[in-house]
Amino acid sequence: MTAPFTSLATFRDILAAAPGPNDGATTGATDRNAQLTKPPGALGRLEDLAIWYAGWRGTDRPSIDAPQVIIFAGNHGVCAQGVSAFPPEVTVQMVANFQHGGAAINQLSKAFGATLDVHALDLDTPTADFTQSPAMTEEDVIAALTTGWDAVNLASDLLVVGEMGIGNTTSAAAIGHALYGGAAADWAGRGTGVDDAGLARKTDVVARAVALHDTTDPLEVLRCLGGRELAAMAGAIAAARHHSIPVILDGFICTAAAATLAAAQPGALDHAVAGHLSAEGAHQRLLDALGKSPLLSLGLRLGEGSGGALAIGILKGAVACHSGMATFAEAGVAAG
């Protein structure tokens, strides 16, 4: 598909015009849930998840048959500030690992029946160092948003987006600080494992970057402080909403990218659930700001969509119970 926007202004219009869930399907799923062979509320949050999913898919008895995982990779000019424990060359090397099936996300995608697509975005041309200038021009950010939008398979019925990009926890921290305030130290974490000196540099970088740029427009925050892979994730999440495909958010970096959409258009993430709570400290702060409760909390901090992919199993279980269980009438069981 071709992205229906050519500027941040038209992308903002797309967000504003995005569809909501199907009320009839939501009502039907709620009614069905009340008739299933279980005590009311016995499946806890699984019941809410199934009803939420049904509303977005437009049927009271849905199934999850074609989940898609997309990994976007980008390089960051801010790495010149010494904010990462690894060099940018690792991004290229990990993309090759994804393509050859050797990463954690390959195994998790396979385990839960998801297709996996990998998109590397101009790895030979890092974004600008955002302590000096905006990370991307408008042309750059639109190109990345378009890559994300066009990467979504319209035959999919669930989407997880992930990332690879040395330095991108610094970008995510700067976005969080710009959108939600607080101190830079509230948002900067150890990422891939920087030492105390590296964490101090990273905190300083986040503070200087946010002070340099206009942070009143969330989409400008994405352009000035993001990276190509963050913008691509945002584009894919927006495309999924446009086509009523539910989304499972991954960790800190994915959530930061998604947060720019929510800040730009209230309700823009109503079609998304948080897959997990990562070990990156500021992830909880982002989820609180978005009003999202994670499905899993396993201490993961790998990125690459791994926590989101793992949560596919939770959502599949919720939908399987909802759509596959018998009602009291069908089973000949007295409802009490």
Q: Which residues are catalytic?
A: 304
Q: Is 301 in contact with 279 (CB distance < 8 Å)? A: yes
CA distance 35 to 40: 9
Q: Is 22 in contact with 55 (CB distance < 8 Å)? A: yes
Angle ∠(130,159,128) on CA atoms, nearest 5: 10
CA distance 94 to 165: 9
Contact partners, residue 247, CB within 8 Å, separation at least 6 = 158, 159, 160, 161, 237, 240, 241, 269, 271, 272, 273
- Kindly state the tokens that stand for 307: 């926590």
CA distance 74 to 45: 35
Q: Is 203 in contact with 188 (CB distance < 8 Å)? A: yes
Neighbours of 207 (CB within 10 A): 18
CA distance 207 to 200: 11
CA distance 212 to 224: 10
